[in-house]
Amino acid sequence: MNNYMPTGGIEWSQDWDPTTKLAIKVTRHLHAEKSPYQQIDFFESETYGTFFTLDGLMMVNEKDEFVYHEMITHVAMATNPNIKKVLIIGGGDGGTAREIGRYKTIEHIDMVEIDERVVRLCQQYLPVTAGHLDKDERIQLLFTDGLEFIKNTPDNTYDLILVDSTDPIGPGEGLFSREFYNNCYRALAEDGILINQHESPYYDFHVHGMKRAHLRLNELFPVVKVYQYHMPTYPSGHWLFGFASKKYDPLKDQNREWWESLNMTTRYYNSDIHRGAFMLPNFVMEKMK
């Protein structure tokens, strides 16, 4: 066990809080670029395969991206099989669009990513998440600000909105604002569902984002729940999504039979974890009161 970087190498690290960091030995720094929006880096590593960071924060790696992308997608789909029109805000790596695209019942996917360079670089370096983006004709790529896009979206446009954002700093900050959620609510159909990246209950910085997102959703939607999953390369590994909806409840309305009839191969999600993920520790529920 005690053979970390025995032969040298390059160390990548991310601060998880002001006194904690995760460090990963990388074999190659594949790409570094400053886009108009953020610093973008791609690395190659033994344990995680290829991974990329935005402003130094781990976004996606080949080892555990499936956890995040399955959990942002299948909970909503198994709750309402009639979802046809989907908006993804962010998610430039393509993983969320890949998972939602697995449903043949989906007719259209708008993917609104502010930073085209993220998409183009993921297409080059991370085919596992972005490889299908130019192959699925239902996907419309829109390189614009999600905040502006949703402001100009007509009422009742989408059955499902997936907010696949970064932390509430930098380009992701507006995606935690009241105005943004108001417009999402408006743009959703009468039985619409919104899933949002809901930060984490462990370190203070993420607890703040979690509380903020939860407060906003609670002001608007009749159904607001939070579900958790294990995402080891995000700070603390304890990560959350919000499920906000105008009509459907993810537990009462779970359509287990329909979802299982699809025979979809998944590595994290299943019909049981759909339920189990909503069963939260007391300290998480208390922090959201």
Give the number of residues written for the chain. Answer: 289
Question: Under the criterion CB under 8 A, does residue 46 sit at the interface with a second copy?
Answer: yes
289 near a second copy, rule: CB under 8 A: no
Q: Does residue 22 touch a second copy according to CB under 8 A?
A: yes
Give the residue among 56, 62, 18 at the shortest CA–CA distance from 39. Answer: 56
Q: Which of residues 213-232 bind a second copy (CB under 8 A)?
A: 228, 230, 232
Exactly one of 43, 203, 248, 259 binds a second copy (CB under 8 A); that residue is 203
Q: Which is nearer to a second copy, 213 or 231 (CB)?
A: 231
Catalogue the E-assigned strands of the chain. 10-17, 20-34, 39-45, 49-54, 57-61, 85-90, 108-112, 139-142, 158-164, 188-197, 223-230, 238-245
**CA 168, CA 40: separation in Å to the nearest integer?**
17
Q: Is 84 in the site for a second copy (CB under 8 A)?
A: no
Whether the CB-CB separation of 177 and 185 falls below 8 Å is answered with no
Min CB(284)–a second copy separation in Å: 9
Count of residues that bind a second copy according to CB under 8 A:
52
Catalytic residue (choose from 64, 115, 164, 167): 164
Closer residue to a second copy (CB): 21 or 178: 21
Check if the beta carbon of residue 24 is closer than 8 Å to that of residue 58.
Answer: no
Strand partners, 245: 193, 223
Stretches 32-40, 82-90, 173-181, 198-206: which one binds a second copy (CB under 8 A)? 198-206
For the bound state, the minimum distance from the C-beta of residue 271 to a second copy, rounded and expressed in Å, comes to 9
Q: Which of 84, 186, 212, 275 lies at the binding interface for a second copy (CB under 8 A)? A: 275
Burial level of 253, CB count in 10 A (0-12/13-18/19+)?
middle
Closest C-alpha among 179, 181, 248, 172 to residue 217: 181
Stretch that binds a second copy, among 39-47, 112-120, 179-187, 217-225 (CB under 8 A): 39-47
DSSP strand pairing (108-112 vs 139-142)? parallel
Q: Which residues of 144-183 are buried (b: 16+ CB within 10 A; e: fewer)?
A: ebbbebbeebeeebbbbbbbbbbbbeebbebbbeeebbeb
Site string for a second copy, 129-168 (x = CB under 8 A): --------------------------------------x-
Q: How far is the CB of 260 from a second copy (least distance, A)?
A: 13
Name which of 174 and 220 has its Cβ closer to a second copy. 174
66 vs 241, which CB is nearer to a second copy?
A: 66
Residue of the chain from 58, 67, 112, 187 that contacts a second copy (CB under 8 A): 67
**Could you confirm whether 164 is annotated as catalytic?**
yes
Task: Report residue 122 CA to chain centroid gap.
Answer: 15
Question: Of 113, 238, 242, 259, which lies in the binding site for a second copy, with binding defined by CB under 8 A?
Answer: 238
Residue 254 DSSP class:
-
Binding residues (CB under 8 A) for a second copy: these are 1-6, 13, 15, 17-25, 45-47, 56-57, 64, 66-67, 167, 169, 202-203, 205, 228, 230, 232, 236-238, 266-270, 272-273, 275-283
Active site residues: 164
